[in-house]
Amino acid sequence: MKNSDNNKPWQGRFTAATDASVEAFTASVGFDQRLYHHDIEGSIAHASMLAHVGVITDAECKTIVDGLNDIRGEIERGDFAWSVALEDVHMNIEARLTERVGDVGKKLHTGRSRNDQVATDIRLYLRDEINAICKEYMALANALIDIAKKESGTIMPGFTHLQVAQPVTLGHHVLAWFEMLVRDLQRMQDCKKRVNVMPLGSAALAGTTYPIDREYTAKLLGFDSVTENSLDAVSDRDFAIEFVSAASITMMHLSRMSEELILWSSAQFDFIEISDSYCTGSSIMPQKKNPDVPELVRGKTGRVMGALNGLLVLMKSQPLAYNKDNQEDKEPLFDTIDTLKGSLHLFAGMMPEIEFKRDNMKAAALQGFSTATDLADYLVVKGAAFRDAHEIVGKAVRYGIDQGKDLSEMTTDELKQFSDLIVDDVHDVLTLEGSVAARNHIGGTAPAQVKAAIQRAEKRLADLA
Ligand code: ARG
């Protein structure tokens, strides 16, 4: 990157050159050059609007637009010389335009300011990224549905307090993840509504004296509407905070899924095997196969939550309107976009590569007296009060711990010693299959309900596409 004494567009009122350390400190071009495509898109629309209202001629507009398209080519070929002295992506491109097309390039900035320009660029950029991210949500949600279809009848222990609680189906567990993601996708789609509003035309802070047609520009750029207040429009970064907030919630969900996958792939659980292509080894322990992808996603959750806090603090107490502080919005926003998109993408790729060890899951569900609640419910059906039933089953469990037997392994006679209400049909409810099948209502874990939930899930997802 060049660090030279370029003529700065704002040089007029200055007599001394910018100190080199100040130049380096205030420049954002190192990170905001990723906005180049949307900056050019915004400038082309702005120039077209200026011609439409007669502030520049059609010929001038064509020269500007052609020049901007050529510059886009230069950037994409890697031929563009970015300059720190020109501070940011906006002034780099504008200066290059004038270099290429001559004085007419200087007319591009009529009726706008970098303040409304940058706010517009970020919104255009984020809108595209949200669209890409929504596709990743969809891919992951579909991958989860595919697993649920295969595992609707697979029995595993359900946990509370990470202690075996009641048997559930794996399909049901995976659909719980699906529900989290659907809410995340909806939040993202909702966030996009507030992103897709155009600040351009607000100029520096108060609007502009030129007869601009903001609706015209907004239509060219695909914005749903234009901002209502110029002071707010140049300073508002709520839309970025909202995005990072939605991203933080998703990362929190992904970290929960990660945690379970990490636990499940440990030798102690041994519920799953993540394919080699999504794991790495240890440089010192030859036997190790580590679940790096979920571990890293769990870890990266921290940086996204950090970005949210950073942006909130960045905006806290800022007076109207634009302040240079706002330049600090970009790195946390860009980092969040990259992290969220990457995490969703890797999860969607990894999920189909997981082998679920059904026998181990079932064996684990047989430990920990997971059908104890079923026995209590059985006693209630036979006439016991629930609190008494709870007490009776507690004693049976105590007996099972001493004898090293699960409830389902006890004979009817053994069980009868705890209550006369227990007869031979008790074993129908003590099996894992009986237990899950009995939770047969919307939202329950029964295989039949999982199958019905999958049908609804597919329809709901299609409606969100
Ligand atoms: N690079 C600046 C930013 O990211 C662009 C706007 C600068 N405006 C100004 N008046 N200095 O916020």
Q: Which domains does the chain carry?
A: 13-110 (1.10.275.10), 115-209+223-363 (1.20.200.10), 366-452 (1.10.40.30)
* Secondary structure (3-state) at 164: strand
Residue 1 — pLDDT band, cuts 50, 70, 90? low
Atom of ligand 1 nearest to the CA of 87: 1
pLDDT-above-70 percentage for the chain? 99
The atom number, within ligand 1, closest to the CA of 32 reads 4
pLDDT tens by residue, 4-30: 555 788 888 888 888 999 999 999 999
Residues ≥6 apart with Cβ < 8 Å to 314: 237, 325, 326, 328, 329
Under a CB-based contact definition with an 8 Å cutoff, are residues 8 and 94 in contact?
no
Pocket (CB within 6 angstroms of ligand 1): 28, 32, 88, 114-115, 118, 324, 326-327
Q: Are 369 and 408 in contact (CB under 8 A)?
A: no
Where is average pLDDT lowest: 61-65, 277-281, 312-316, 454-458? Answer: 277-281
Q: Are 340 and 134 in contact (CB under 8 A)?
A: no
The pLDDT of 223-232, averaged and rounded, is 98
List residues with catalytic annotation: 161, 282
Maximum Cα interatomic distance, the chain, rounded to a whole number of Å: 100
Q: Report the relative pairing of strands 155-160 and 163-169 from DSSP bridges.
A: antiparallel
Convert the pLDDT of each residue in 91-107 to its tens digit. Answer: 999 999 999 999 999 99
CA distances to 172, 197, 207, 301, 316 from 228, in Å: 46, 9, 11, 35, 22
Mutate to test the pocket of ligand 1, among 18, 88, 320 (most ligand atoms within 8 A of CB): 88
> Cα of 118 to ligand 1 centre, how many Å?
7
Q: Please report which confidence band the pLDDT of residue 281 belongs to, taking 50, 70 and 90 as the band edges.
A: confident
Name the least confident of 98-107, 232-241, 282-291, 423-432: 282-291
**How many angstroms is it from 183 CA to the middle of ligand 1?**
35
* Closest CA relative to residue 464, chosen from 224, 138, 136: 138
Distance 327 CA to ligand 1 centre (A): 6
**Cα(315) to centroid(ligand 1), Å:** 15
Closest-lying ligand 1 atom to the alpha carbon of residue 326: 12
Six-digit token pair at 164? 């075996």
pLDDT tens by residue, 394-406? 999 999 999 999 9
How much is the pLDDT for 289? 85
Tell me the average pLDDT of the chain: 96
Half-sphere exposure in the Cβ direction for 438 (13 Å, CA): 16
pLDDT at 3: 54
pLDDT given for residue 5 in this prediction: 54
Q: What is the pLDDT of residue 284?
A: 80
Average pLDDT, stretch 313-342?
A: 98
